[in-house]
Chains A and B, each alone.
Chain A
Amino acid sequence: MNTNKDVWVLVEAEDGKISRHATALLEEGKKLAAELSGELHALYLGPELGGIGAEAGARGAGKLYACIDGKLRQYDPLRYQQVILNLLKKQQPRLLLALSSSLGSDLLPRLAFNLHSPLVSNCAEIEVEADGELLFMKPVHKGRLFAKVRCQGEGIRIASYLPERLPSCDEAGAGSPAELVALGAAAEDKAAAIQVTGFLKADHRTIDITEADIIVAVGRGVGSKESFGLVQKLADGIGGAIGGTRPMVDAGVIPYERQIGQTGKRVAPRLIFLLGISGATEFVQGIVGGATTVAVNLDRQSPVFKAADLGIVGDLEQLMPTIVKHVRDLTGSDSRA
């Protein structure tokens, strides 16, 4: 029987540091490790990342297994697989956790297959039962039902966690940095079946708004088509996807696929601009996951300001050109970022 109680978390980087979802996953791993009375360790593959040891340590990781290699800047399934497989076979943790990101969704099945280990994808919750076994909760049938999964057999359990189900966490306090365990890079194999040649960034103009990190949402207050042109410029400047309220869809300004709210889609961006939106409950309900919210509205009393991190009272017709100009100055151009 696998007596190891350790929990490993595969962390992903974003903008030169551990991604915010990965930090939240570390917190989740810490909780589980404590309940299992084991230890939390982090696992990272990729280019040099400043302060990663300190951050992982502050989130409770005892060790950081890191394979630092500039060539791993982009995800390469076979090389990732090789490095991690060797390590897992040797260390046999109880649980390997990763995010249900494109990386996690691709890598974990490969690992599970090679290790003959059970894999639970897209978990919404993980509990430790009285007998020390893990109980995984995951939405099935497009989230209409929740399944409880208990794995059979021994050995490593592998699970991916839905990022939207992770609570956003505060700044970490000081903690001792994690002990760095360097891993050797996998040899490059020109004959490998999969060769990663590059990645294409999602086009913010065509991305599904439920997957967009940045959204510029428009409401009735945007008014004319001309101001909508400026909204498009702002969105292009910051790489945001355009969304909006039901009246804007009814007026034919944006297509239904971009409608946010009770009768449209539910979005979970990191940053959202609410332009000329009054903030009716029916709309606000469509934004989940604690996005940073910037609201611009004429009416000081508008309920939208209750939900905003930054509220600007003003006329969009006047403000938009200034905002667009600012963004252009900051990003250096108005090309698609």
Chain B
Amino acid sequence: MSGAESVLTSPERMAALLLLLAVAILAVSIVCRRVALIRSGRPVAAAPEGTGGALARFLLYVPGQWSNIRNLSMKDLAGIQHLMLFWGALFFFVYYALFFFVGDALGFASLLRGSALAQGFLGLTELFGVLLIVALIWGLARRTLLKPARLGPHFEGGLFAAITVAASALLICYFGLEALRFNLQTVSYTGPVSGLFADWLAALPSGTQAQLFHTAWWIQTAMLACFMVYVPYSDHQHAIFAPFNILASHPQPHGRFSPSGLQESYRGLAGPTDFTWKQMLEVYGCTQCGRCQEACPAATAGKALSPKKIIQHVRGSIDEAGKLVPFWHKAEAAGSVELQHRVCDEEVWSCTTCMACAEACPAFVSPLDKIVDLRRDRVMARSRFFPELTNLFRDLENFGDVFGKGKSRREDWTLGGDVRVLSEQGQADTLFWVGCQASFHDRHTKSAKSVAEVLAKGGVDMAIMGKGELCCGDPLRRLGNEYQYRNFVRKNIENLKKLHFKRIVTYCPHCYNTLKNEYPQFGGEFEVIHYTELLQDLIGSGSLKLKKQLPAKVAYHDPCYLARGNNLTKGREVLDALPGASTLDVERSGAKTFCCGGGGGAMWMRETGGAKINELRVRELVQDGPEVIATSCPYCVVMLEDGIRSLGVENVKCKDLIEMVRESV
């Protein structure tokens, strides 16, 4: 009888089989314990999605590896490495399941290896084996020599060196064994790599070759056993969980924050029992690639926060509760599963909720979602936040706006202008949602007037809500004060439903996002557009004529809550339509825009150390020497203007887009 079974003795095949079965039971039990943890999570309100969409996403992002291809740049080629690893690992998974386990260990090798299909597959596997070795060495070099910041601060070089050595040993054994099978005449063909090995090994006497076969085969068995335990136990578990997370992640606009605080008993993320199953699946699907950390403005500025670290903290808490901490992480275990001890205040409050982490994640994990839930815990369950936020919360609760000015002064900006306040009996085509900033802030009331003026020129039938308008709730939700947020949203929806209008146009991107994406969570379905969308329509249809030349070089800063939160970059098109203005390219723009530093309540909190985010952004924006930095968000205007001043940049002005349009009309 020819075949590997003629070289391998029955007892040793039996021994290997028993070993692998034992290890497989251990591995499956680890996976099952993690699955049980995930299943014990709180329920999530399911967003309706057809299976077709989920399947298409799965195919595109798992076998298609679209995240890795999409994120490729000359600066960061690691996507290619992952592509090689993914496909290589997939081929070897099939190889070991079929040809090693069923073939060698169970003894069906000659049956399996006979066909041309098998020969083709084995040949391809060898090519992927070579790619795998390249990818492994590449990966090790990144962890030990190149050390890109996003993999830091713990590069785990030692662990990856061990993995590389073990995996390379496995692959060399694999090539050797394939070669020896040919030399020992158990198969009639070699692959492209094993052919070379076969030539080298042919010089050895056949007895030595048979001995070598046994040794290599057992090394391979041992390495396989190690990997079978390592993968489900370690950070490489993402190979198991990330595909399921991708399947379960129905994409929503990044700006729509989870309403999980809605369940009556829920007061935020305090410990392992507060997670939803989706949050735990996300945490286990995290690849720790650090793209979130690279994109995060707070981490870039050197503040305490790193979104990657947040996921690690959170995962540590879940693992510790499920007694699943890998032994090489035991020393770092914090000893408490409570997140108030694991995540420090500076981390939680440095976030500007710019959504860059969620956007950058290749595995559909949102660190932001966890940060907001951590804030909910601190605000709603512990009252643990910076004292300056008390002023904001009190102003909002007592007066209904972020400046504490009160309803009675909400219409003050209209004084001397011709702006209609919509009554319950009246009707208007467009309701202008002014927002707190444009209603009260010295600088932005001018913008509110400009919006009113320009829309009037464009022939839009517009009215405002006047005293009935309250803060939209954006800072409250993003600061974790979900309870008050809900009160605001309910009151606003109630007031809006009393009025007769077709659509809402907002000045502030934050109001826009909240009204458009989050009010439907509470039954407030309205057509909501941002003023840049409306302007673009008006200009496109010819209702609004831009006449006056504005010769200036302009760098446009995309506000996060438009460009990233809602994929809205119409501001840029409006800017292009301005006669005389030339738009400069900005390093990070569109959905990849970089935060101004003012979102997520940062406007009302102290600096938490590190560099200032607005200064980083201004430096980026002034690179090509613009005369004007334009944007379309009141927070961005304040932050960038302040950055220009504190950096002492000369001859650059920060302007709201609406100011420029009004000048040109």
Point out residues on A near B: beta carbons under 8 Å. 141-144, 220, 246-247, 249-251, 256, 259, 262-266, 280-282, 285, 303
In the complex with contacts A265-B388, A266-B391, A285-B403, A247-B646 CB distance below 8 A: yes
Q: Which residues of A contact B390 (CB under 8 A)?
A: 142-144
In the complex with contacts A220-B645, A262-B604, A266-B391, A281-B383 CB distance below 8 A: no
Q: B606: which of A143, A144, A247, A256 is its contact (CB, 8 Å)?
A: A256
In the complex with contacts A144-B393, A144-B394, A250-B388 CB distance below 8 A: no
Q: Which residues of A contact B645 (CB under 8 A)?
A: 220, 247
Interchain CB contact under 8 A, B606 and A250 = no
Give Cα A143 to B394, complex, Å: 7
Q: Which 5 pairs show the lowest CB-CB distances between chains A and B?
A: A281-B441, A281-B442, A303-B442, A263-B606, A143-B394
Interchain CB contact under 8 A, B603 and A247 = no
Q: List 8 A-B contacts (CB under 8 A).
A: A249-B607, A263-B388, A263-B604, A263-B607, A264-B388, A281-B403, A281-B441, A285-B404
Interchain CB contact under 8 A, A144 and B383 = yes
- Nearest-Cβ distance from residue B598 to partner chain A, whole angstroms: 10
A-B contact count (CB 8 A): 51
Q: Which residues of A contact B606 (CB under 8 A)?
A: 256, 259, 263-264
Interchain CB contact under 8 A, B394 and A250 = no
Give Cα A18 to B612, complex, Å: 48
Give Cα A317 to B645, complex, Å: 20
Give Cα A224 to B606, complex, Å: 24
- Nearest-Cβ distance from residue A200 to partner chain B, whole angstroms: 26
Which of the listed residues B383, B442, B604 has the most CB atoms from chain A within 10 Å of its own CB?
A: B442
Give Cα A259 to B604, complex, Å: 12
Q: A263: which of B394, B404, B442, B605 is its contact (CB, 8 Å)?
A: B605
Give Cα A282 to B642, complex, Å: 11
Instruction: Write the chain A residue with the least CB distance to B645.
Output: A220
Interchain CB contact under 8 A, B646 and A250 = yes
In the complex with contacts A281-B442, A285-B403, A247-B394 CB distance below 8 A: no
Q: Which residues of B contact A246 (CB under 8 A)?
A: 607
Knowing that A142-B390, A263-B607 are A-B contacts, what are 5 other residue pairs whose CB atoms are under 8 Å apart, sorted by A's residue number?
A: A247-B642, A247-B645, A259-B606, A262-B391, A263-B605
Q: A281: which of B392, B440, B604, B607 is its contact (CB, 8 Å)?
A: B440
Give Cα A303 to B444, complex, Å: 13
Q: For chain B residues 376-393, which have a beta carbon within 8 Å of chain A?
A: 383, 387-388, 390-393
Q: Which residues of B contact A281 (CB under 8 A)?
A: 403, 440-443
Determine whether B638 belongs to the interface, using a CB cutoff of 8 Å to chain A.
Answer: yes
Give Cα A141 to B603, complex, Å: 23
Q: Which residues of A contact B392 (CB under 8 A)?
A: 262
Which of the listed residues B394, B404, B441 has the most CB atoms from chain A within 10 Å of its own CB?
A: B394
Q: B638: which of A247, A266, A282 is its contact (CB, 8 Å)?
A: A282
Instruction: Write the chain B residue with the least CB distance to A145.
Output: B397
Q: Which residues of A contact B442 (CB under 8 A)?
A: 280-281, 303
Give Cα A303 to B645, complex, Å: 16
Q: For chain B residues 440-456, which have a beta carbon within 8 Å of chain A?
A: 440-443
Q: For chain B residues 161-201, which have a beta carbon within 8 Å of chain A?
A: none
Q: B603: which of A220, A250, A262 is its contact (CB, 8 Å)?
A: A262
- Nearest-Cβ distance from residue A266 to partner chain B, whole angstroms: 6
Instruction: Write the chain B residue with the least CB distance to A284.
Output: B442
Instruction: Write the chain A residue with the least CB distance to B603.
Output: A262
Instruction: Write the chain A residue with the least CB distance to B615.
Output: A250
Contact with A along B591-603 (1 / 0, CB 8 A): 0000000000001
Instruction: Write the chain B residue with the least CB distance to A261.
Output: B388
- Nearest-Cβ distance from residue A142 to partner chain B, whole angstroms: 6
Q: For chain B residues 604-633, which have a beta carbon within 8 Å of chain A?
A: 604-607, 612
